[in-house]
């Protein structure tokens, strides 16, 4: 059924997991289609900031049975996109209880269909706790009596997905990797865009009774092959040495040292890798009008979508939405590392922007100019552009303009400018300034962004970070001071 038809019927969709990776992306797709949506969240005040004007957000917790009373009134379809794998304690019991609670509440409310995202794996095998729990949840939901459309998937390839980010972290950080035997076990990854399309089309697909669809991309590959392909697309040379030791448990402990951010969930995930997760029943290909991507296109799409999202991001909005902290140092955005700072000035926003617009060239960078010149000299010595290019106009900027070793890649007069570095670096770097405020008070947002390539890039960021900390902090204070002494379009700064 087309998006237009869905919009005309406007079924009320109940979305769980809207704050998660898959749920958050599905939310946008449903909103664009014109569906009426009701999201449930334990902390609805945070989710309300992220939804469209016509999307309803209600308080509820699938682990608290009483909180689900009444929240599914008039709901036609429920999306069940939650699991407890990232929590502490017995996640299987939590998943079990959550499925029971939601199934009972859905039946009581007269829900017509539940769409559940589960996991691939041979149900006759001795599955890991994670895969076993995913399939048990499907069984519990079917026992509720509500019609279930269960989609079983393997690795999801997309910027921000757990599996993809673990692959990224390992390949980016380790020039040499030991590869246990279980890394050769096959999976059938699916691109996030294809997964979302399956979920969306499950709203209107005609089925009788409960149905399980196994979905995946074109290729059956191992984690090792995924790492090779990611390294190829990122231009990284990686040595992967197969070894007959390193059990999943030992490997999970090692993963916790290399990628501590994913240690809790990663250990449970690694225990599942020893089981093949491939499509055995191809009914989904015959039922859905979807042509899944292969691994190469899926990874390329993930990197490309990340690039587009990065280009469209306004850092003042993105960082402030994560909490009430004005300055962030070492925050990650995908593979990128951020250093974001802000300063308030009792001046009109337009006046504050003039100081930013005059950066570089004869004006300099408002702090530690001799260090900037030294860095430019070092860049020249290794064949880079250095700072000899200066800038064409001391007061005006346009997209494409050169400013010392930077180039203007985004410019909104009076509000925002983003520079991209053209010096020799083990990665890519940007420097962005955005001014928000009114005619009385303005906030200058300054964000340095670095996309490290491999271990050399990470070492560069962390080795130079103490120096950059002082430079970035001093530059922001210098801009604020320069804006306060601006009398016209020119900014004069000494030192």
**pLDDT tens for residues 432-453?**
999 988 888 888 999 898 988 8
pLDDT in tens, 171-183: 888 888 877 777 8
pLDDT in tens, 301-314: 998 888 777 666 55
Q: Which of 396, 169, 157 is nearest to 293 (CA)?
A: 157
- Confidence grade of residue 260 (pLDDT, cut at 50, 70, 90): low
pLDDT score of 267: 60
Residue 493 has pLDDT above 50, yes or no: no
Dihedral sign, CA of 212, 217, 222, 227? negative
pLDDT score of 181: 74
pLDDT score of 319: 46
Concatenate the DSSP letters of all residues of 388-402 into one string.
TT-BS-SS---TT-E
- Residues 348, 91: Cα–Cα separation, whole Å: 53
pLDDT score of 257: 62
Q: Is 330 left (phi over 0), alpha (psi -120 to 50) or beta?
A: left
Q: What stretch of H or E contains 12?
A: strand 12-15
Q: Which of 408, 406, 358, 409 is nearest to 384 (CA)?
A: 406
- Confidence grade of residue 19 (pLDDT, cut at 50, 70, 90): confident
pLDDT score of 89: 56
Listed in sequence order, the residues at least 6 apart from 336 whose beta carbon sits closer than 8 Å to its beta carbon are 310, 449, 450, 451
Q: Read off the tokens for 133.
A: 């729990």
- Confidence grade of residue 149 (pLDDT, cut at 50, 70, 90): very high
Q: Which fold has domain 3-308?
A: Rossmann fold (3.40.50)
pLDDT score of 7: 38
* Average pLDDT of the chain, as a whole number: 83
Query: Averaged over 441-468, what is the pLDDT?
Result: 88
Beta bridge mates, 37: 13
For the chain, the farthest-separated pair of C-alpha atoms sits apart, in whole angstroms, at: 77
Residue 488 has pLDDT above 70, yes or no: no
pLDDT score of 325: 43
Listed in sequence order, the residues at least 6 apart from 338 whose beta carbon sits closer than 8 Å to its beta carbon are 315, 319, 328, 330, 331, 332, 447, 448, 449, 450
Query: Averaged over 77-89, what is the pLDDT?
Result: 75
- Residues 62, 144: Cα–Cα separation, whole Å: 15
Residue 18 has pLDDT above 70, yes or no: yes
pLDDT in tens, 264-292: 555 666 666 777 899 999 999 999 999 99
Query: Averaged over 6-30, what is the pLDDT?
Result: 83
- Secondary structure letter of residue 318 according to DSSP: H
- Residues 378, 266: Cα–Cα separation, whole Å: 41
pLDDT score of 318: 47
The reported pTM is: 0.75
pLDDT in tens, 388-434: 778 888 888 999 899 998 999 889 998 899 999 999 999 899 999 99
Residue 172 near residue 335 (C-beta atoms within 8 A)? yes
**C-alpha angle 24/255/260, rounded to 5°?**
60
Query: Averaged over 334-355, what is the pLDDT?
Result: 86
Query: Averaged over 175-198, what is the pLDDT?
Result: 89
Query: Averaged over 336-347, what is the pLDDT?
Result: 87
Question: Cα dist. 247→30, 96, 180, 263 in Å?
Answer: 42, 28, 7, 16
Query: Averaged over 367-386, what is the pLDDT?
Result: 87
Please state which of the ranges 132-146, 428-442, 474-488 shows the lowest mean pLDDT. 474-488
Domain layout of the chain by residue ranges: 3-308, 316-484
The domain over range 316-484 is classified in CATH as 1.10.3720.10: no
Q: How far apart are the first and last CA of the chain?
A: 66
Q: Which residue carries 């985004």 as its tokens?
A: 410
pLDDT score of 184: 84
- Residues 265, 269: Cα–Cα separation, whole Å: 6
């Amino acid at each position: 059924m087309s998006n237009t038809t869905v919009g005309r019927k406007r079924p009320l969709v109940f979305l769980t997991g809207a704050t998660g990776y898959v749920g958050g992306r599905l939310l946008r797709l449903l909103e664009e289609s014109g569906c009426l949506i009701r999201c449930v969240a334990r902390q609805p005040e945070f989710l309300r900031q992220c939804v469209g004007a016509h999307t309803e957000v209600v308080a509820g917790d699938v682990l608290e049975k009483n909180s689900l009373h009444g929240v599914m009134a008039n709901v036609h379809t429920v999306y069940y996109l939650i699991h407890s794998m990232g929590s502490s304690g017995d996640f299987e019991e939590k998943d079990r209880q959550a499925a029971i609670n939601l199934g009972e509440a859905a039946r009581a409310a007269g829900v017509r269909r539940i769409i559940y995202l589960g996991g691939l794996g041979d149900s006759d095998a001795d599955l890991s706790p994670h895969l076993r729990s995913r399939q048990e949840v499907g069984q519990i939901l079917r026992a509720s009596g509500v019609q279930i459309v269960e989609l079983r998937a393997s690795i999801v390839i997309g910027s921000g997905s757990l599996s993809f980010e673990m692959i990224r972290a390992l390949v980016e950080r380790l020039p040499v990797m030991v590869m246990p035997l279980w890394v050769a076990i096959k999976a059938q990854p699916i691109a996030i865009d294809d997964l979302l399309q399956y979920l969306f089309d499950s709203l209107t697909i005609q089925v009788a009774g409960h149905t399980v669809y196994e979905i995946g991309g074109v290729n059956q590959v191992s984690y090792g092959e995924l790492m090779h392909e990611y390294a190829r697309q990122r231009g990284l040379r990686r040595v992967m040495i197969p070894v007959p030791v390193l059990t999943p448990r030992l490997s999970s402990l090692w993963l916790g040292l290399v990628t501590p951010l994913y240690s809790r969930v990663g250990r449970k995930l690694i225990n599942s890798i020893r089981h093949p997760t491939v499509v055995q029943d191809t009914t989904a290909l015959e039922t859905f009008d979807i042509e899944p991507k292969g691994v190469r296109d899926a990874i390329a799409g993930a990197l490309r979508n990340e690039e587009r999202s990065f280009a469209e991001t306004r850092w003042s909005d993105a960082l402030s939405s994560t909490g009430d902290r004005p300055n962030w140092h070492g925050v990650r955005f995908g593979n990128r590392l951020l250093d974001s700072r802000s300063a308030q000035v009792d001046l009109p926003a337009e006046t504050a922007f003039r100081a930013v617009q005059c950066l570089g060239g004869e004006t300099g960078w408002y702090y530690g100019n001799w260090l900037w010149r030294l860095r430019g000299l070092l860049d020249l010595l290794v064949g880079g552009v250095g700072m000899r290019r200066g800038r064409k106009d001391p007061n005006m900027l346009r997209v494409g303009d050169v400013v010392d070793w930077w180039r203007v890649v985004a410019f909104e007069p009076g509000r925002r400018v983003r520079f991209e570095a053209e010096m020799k670096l083990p990665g890519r770097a940007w420097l962005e300034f955005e001014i928000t405020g009114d005619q009385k008070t303005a906030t200058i947002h300054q964000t340095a962004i670095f996309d490290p390539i491999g271990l050399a890039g990470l070492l560069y960021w962390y080795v130079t970070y103490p120096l950059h900390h002082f430079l970035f902090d001093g530059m922001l204070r210098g801009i604020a001071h320069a804006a306060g002494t601006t009398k016209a379009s020119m900014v004069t700064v000494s030192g």
